[in-house]
Amino acid sequence: MRIKLTSEVPIVVYTLMGITVVVFLLQQASLALLNGADLPAMAGMKVNELILGGQIWRLITPMFLHGSILHLGFNMYALYIFGPGLERNYGHARFLALLLLSGFAGNVFSFLFTSSPSLGSSTAIFGLLGAEGVFLYQNRKIYGAVGQRALINILVIAGINLVIGLSPGIDNWGHVGGLIGGTLFAWYAGPVLRVEGVYPYHSLVDERQNGDVWRAGLSVWLLFGLLAATTIILSTR
């Protein structure tokens, strides 16, 4: 797959931001019109008992829901900062897979390790942090010292946010799961670049094949899906 290093619009990032903002506005309208009842959150947030009852969509939908304007703003800012560069390097479809798998993995970990209800796109955001770190590490020969400094910054940011996540009321297991899911997918499916040609006619070529991406995506989905399915089966016996 050949990578186009252009200023192409990151349509997945902007689409996800738009959907998430619209959903938040629906949440606020519901709160205002229905005596404080947040119907979108009630229908989609991670609630273990309801997942055990068969509402498995709650392992994906929490990433589109938020509990406050500050919660929404922080996550959308993080998506805006880290998303466009990754989308340009990954391409639209592979980047969308990264986001969805990270969000799914984070919600599965939250389901496994905490009984508290949760919502928010930070599961997917932590997957982006992991993917950015993997991209910089696997392409360190191309990006050199600049890439090394950026990788250190990513590790520091992830570490600080995981420590902050130890505070009460924050679903840190969701962060950990998203980080693991995004990192795994990126390690086996993310762009591995090489320079082809001679300056000024050189280009960057991605050595990954479509089959690599499909296998990695299916493997991550199966891994976390089996973890969730096993927990559901054992809990309902």
Active-site residue flag, 66: no
What is the C-alpha to C-alpha distance for residues 111 and 78, in angstroms, rounded to an integer?
A: 24
Provide long-range contacts, Cβ within 8 A and 24+ apart, for 49-52.
51/111, 51/228, 51/232, 52/232, 52/235, 52/236
Q: Hey, which bits of 126-220 come out as E strands? A: 193-196, 203-206
Residue 205 pairs with which residues in a beta bridge?
Answer: 2, 194
SS3 102: helix
| Residue found under tokens 């939250």 | 110
For 93, list phi and psi in degrees, rounded to 5.
-65, -45
The residue annotated as part of the active site, out of 30, 115, 175, 202, is: 175
Active-site residue flag, 167: no
Contact between 62 and 45 under an 8 Å Cβ cutoff? The reply is yes
The residue annotated as part of the active site, out of 30, 118, 121, 122, is: 122
| Residue found under tokens 């089966």 | 233
Show which residues are catalytic: 122, 175
